[in-house]
Copies of this chain bind each other. A is one copy, B any other.
Amino acid sequence: MAETIFSKIISGEIPCHRVYEDEQVLAFLDIFPLSEGHTLIVPKEPAETLDKLSDQASAAIGRVLPLLCRAVMQVTGATAYNVLQNNGEAAHQAVRHVHFHIIPKYDQASSHESGGLGIGWPAKKLDPERGKTLAQQLADAVGS
């Protein structure tokens, strides 16, 4: 995998505002935050997208997510937040090394600017027959 700004942060070649580190995971502030406290969590294992990450490295991120979310809420006072992980340019991935965002969302009563993640939600209703077929295909793919 090609070097990225995140692999250089992990190796120490580029500095970061570090929040948390263990053997498998590094968390630091996004220097282009969507809101105050916007934090990134990256696996030390190099993988471009989540589907290419090992189960162990992904579990290690899962394990520290609640702790990091609590820290962000405690320090910023945010009561709402999004956890987002983008894969592929079409899905807004900017750095080709897996990263999870914790993005606080502030209401207007907060002293912070509102900001945060903008969400568009063009939901449709799932056709039940299509759902049945698709779920079976996915279950087969998981089991294969």
Contact = CB atoms under 8 A, between A and B. Distances in A.
Tallying the copies of this chain within the complex gives: 2
A100 B62 CA distance: 11
A143 B84 CA distance: 24
Chain A interface secondary structure, helix, strand, loop or mixed? mixed
Interface in A79-121: 79-93, 100, 105-107, 115-121
A53 to B, nearest CB: 5
A34 B69 contact: no
A4 interface: no
Interface residues of A, number: 80
Interface string A37-67: 1010000000001111111101111111111
Given A63-B62, A118-B122, A120-B117, A80 B70 contact: no
A80 B87 CA distance: 5
17 contacts: A17-B132, A17-B135, A33-B123, A33-B124, A50-B69, A51-B73, A55-B63, A55-B66, A70-B141, A71-B142, A74-B141, A79-B90, A80-B90, A82-B87, A82-B92, A117-B120, A118-B119
